[in-house]
Amino acid sequence: MLIFKELKSRIVYDFLQLVFPRVCLLCYDTLVVQERFLCLQCKTRLPYSHYWEEKDNPAAQLFWGRVPVEWVIPFLHFTKNGVVQHLIHEIKYNKRHDLAEYLGTLFGNVLNSSSLKMVDGIVPVPLHASRLLERGYNQSEKIAQGISQSMNIPLLSNVIERRVWKSSQTKRNRYERWQNVKDAFQLVNREAIAGKHIMLVDDVLTTGATLEACALKILEAERVSISIVTLAKA
Ligand SMILES: [Zn+2]
């Protein structure tokens, strides 16, 4: 009976492998059992920023004179039509929230041996309710969950709320974007972050306008310091 059961599950497994082979998202090679989403070779070759080794990195310089932040660390470099764009596309448009979480855990592993290992709490940049409804999840929160798991640092997801949302940001210039986002966030739980070093998490760093607006709100709490991390930098 047991043999029959085992045989049956083996057949189911083989069938699933045939129909939904586990392949690398980037090179389509078959993954070995321990691998998820990416083969070892593609994982090794990701365009890591290494900005966790350099405090005054170009991403940090983007915020100079705008908002006081401790560290700014994008995990990967984003290039047009590159591998990171492909991964972000999978997360945003093919609803691969498990991929967002997975990349978050890889990022967390790296941050564990950086100056950010001592932060007190992780806050994802919130998504507006209508966008959340459309997508089904907040990708920044999924990335933050992955980071939280591998760093063993609490995720604080109800600290900031997003209030205003107007049409897509992508076609606006920097000033228009700023006008649109500067009042978009509301600090709803200042006690949860008072006296803490907060790691603010977003998916992609472009102009930094959204992160700046969000960071300024967080800084309204007492004795708070902020570091910013993103999955990628454009
Ligand atoms: Zn691969």
The widest CA-to-CA distance across the chain, in whole angstroms, is 71
Mark whether 117 and 182 lie in a shared domain: yes
Mark whether 122 and 163 lie in a shared domain: yes
Q: Does residue 181 sit within a domain?
A: yes
Q: Does residue 67 sit within a domain?
A: yes
Q: Does residue 74 sit within a domain?
A: yes
**Can you give the pLDDT at residue 180?**
72
Mark whether 41 and 58 lie in a shared domain: no
Distance CA 179, CA 177 (A): 6
Range of the domain at 197: 51-233
Count of helices and strands (H, E) across the chain? 9, 6
Mark whether 21 and 91 lie in a shared domain: no
Beta bridge partners of 160: 187
**Can you give the pLDDT at residue 5?**
67
Mark whether 73 and 131 lie in a shared domain: yes
Q: What is the pLDDT of residues 77-129, one digit of tens each?
A: 998 889 999 999 999 888 899 999 999 999 999 999 999 999 999 999 998 87
Q: How far is the CA of 34 from the centre of ligand 1 (A)?
A: 14
- Tell which of 25, 46, 67 closes a domain: 46
Q: How far is the CA of 44 from the centre of ligand 1 (A)?
A: 9
Mark whether 76 and 146 lie in a shared domain: yes
Distance CA 54, CA 49 (A): 10
Q: Does residue 6 sit within a domain?
A: no
Helix axes 83-93, 97-111, angle to 10 degrees: 130
Mark whether 57 and 41 lie in a shared domain: no
Total domains in the fold of the chain: 2
Mark whether 42 and 97 lie in a shared domain: no
Q: How far is the CA of 14 from the centre of ligand 1 (A)?
A: 22
Mark whether 32 and 58 lie in a shared domain: no
Whether this prediction's pTM lies above 0.95 is answered by: no
Distance CA 37, CA 10 (A): 22
3-state secondary structure of 101: helix
Which residue bears the tokens 């999978």? 90
**Can you give the pLDDT at residue 136?**
87
Mark whether 31 and 116 lie in a shared domain: no
Q: Nearest-5° angle of CA 130, CA 158, CA 231?
A: 75
Low-confidence ranges of the chain (pLDDT < 70): 1-10, 13-20, 164-171, 177
**Can you give the pLDDT at residue 190?**
94
Q: How far is the CA of 112 from the centre of ligand 1 (A)?
A: 25
Q: Does residue 215 sit within a domain?
A: yes
Q: Does residue 27 sit within a domain?
A: yes
Distance CA 75, CA 48 (A): 6
- Whether the CB-CB separation of 218 and 159 falls below 8 Å is answered with yes
Q: How far is the CA of 39 from the centre of ligand 1 (A)?
A: 4
Q: How far is the CA of 27 from the centre of ligand 1 (A)?
A: 4
Q: How far is the CA of 140 from the centre of ligand 1 (A)?
A: 24
Domain with residue 61: its CATH number is 3.40.50.2020
What stretches of the chain adopt beta strand conformation (E)?
72-77, 121-124, 160-162, 185-187, 197-205, 225-233
**Can you give the pLDDT at residue 148?**
98
- Provide φ and ψ at 145, rounded to 5°: -60, -45
Mark whether 86 and 69 lie in a shared domain: yes
Mark whether 110 and 161 lie in a shared domain: yes
**Can you give the pLDDT at residue 131?**
81
Q: Does residue 2 sit within a domain?
A: no
